[in-house]
Amino acid sequence: MAESDDTPVLTAPAAPAAGGWARLGRTLAVGVFALVVGLYLGIGASGLRGGHPEPPAQDSVEVGFAQDMSVHHSQAVEMSAMALTNATDPAVRTLAYDVLTTQQGQWGTMQGWLAVWDRPLQAAGEPMTWMRATEDSAGTAAGMTEHAAMPPGSAIQGPRMPGMATTSELDTLRRTTGPAFDTLYLQLLLRHHQGGLPMARYAAANATEQVVTTLARQIADTQQAESTTMQQLLTAHGAAPLPMN
C-alpha cells in the first residue's frame, strides 16, 4: 500500500545546527571517509580490494550494502542527534551518543568504499535489490515492494527501507519533549535497528570482500546488542516496541 511519507536525500547525516554532538559526528564521518580514500591513493586500488583486479560490480552485494546501509545509518544518526539534546534519561543519552559516533564512523567508511570503487554514493532505484531471495532475507526483500516512494525528507529520497521512520514520525519526534521523547526515540530506533539487521546479516553471509563482511558482522552484532538494551529501556519506561513497518 502506498504511503505519503518517506525517508529522509543522501548527505552526511544532518543534525540540529546548535548541536555540538552532531558536529562531532560529522567530523568523525568526514575523517573516516578521507582516511579510506587516502589509503586508496596511498596503497593503490588492489590494496583495498584485497588483490582483486576490479572493484565490485554495480549490482554486487558490496555496493548495494554500502549504498543502502549508508542511508539507513543516516537516519539513525539524525534521530540520535536529537536525543543527545532532548532525552531526559541518562541511559538514553548514552545510547544515543554510542549510536551517533559509531554509525557516523561506519557511514564514512561505506561512503569511502563507494568513492574508491567509483560507484554512486546512493542507489538509483528501489533499495535492497542486491539482496537475493534466501530463507533469511526473502520476506524482508519482498516486503520492500509494498512500500511506494514518499516525499523527500532530511536524508534520502526514494522508497523506504524496513524500519525507517517516516517524515511525519521524525517531525513528531522533533516536537516531543520530556520522558515522552525518550520513549518515542527508543521505539523508533529499535524498529530502525530491527529493520536494518537483515541487510547486515545478508551482507555478512554473501559479500566476497572481506572488509565488507567484517563491517557487516560488526553492524549486526552491535545492533543486536543495542536492540536488547532498547527493549530493556522500553520496559523500564512502561512502553512496548512498535510493529515493523
Query: What burial class does residue 244 get, using C-beta atoms within 10 Å of its C-beta: 0-12 exposed, 13-18 middle, 19+ buried?
Result: exposed
Model confidence over 43-71: pLDDT tens digits? Answer: 344 445 555 568 999 999 999 999 999 99
Closest to 186 measured CA to CA, from 107, 106, 93: 93
Residue-level pLDDT at 160? 80
Residues 193-216 as b/e (b if ≥16 CB within 10 A, e otherwise) read bbbbbbbbbbbbebbebeebbebb
Over residues 191-207, the mean pLDDT reads: 98
First to last CA, the chain: 11
Residue-level pLDDT at 27? 54
Model confidence over 3-42: pLDDT tens digits? Answer: 445 544 454 444 444 355 555 555 554 555 555 445 444 4
Sequence-distant (≥ 6) Cβ neighbours of residue 102 within 8 angstroms: 222
C-beta neighbour count of 121 within 10 angstroms: 14
Report whether 85 contacts 23 (CB < 8 A).
Answer: no
Closest to 155 measured CA to CA, from 242, 77, 58, 61: 77
Instruction: Kindly state which CATH superfamily the domain 61-122+161-237 is placed in.
Output: Ferritin, core subunit, four-helix bundle (1.20.1260.10)
Alpha-carbon separation of residue 89 from 228, 230, 239 (angstroms): 17, 12, 14
pTM of the entire predicted model: 0.76
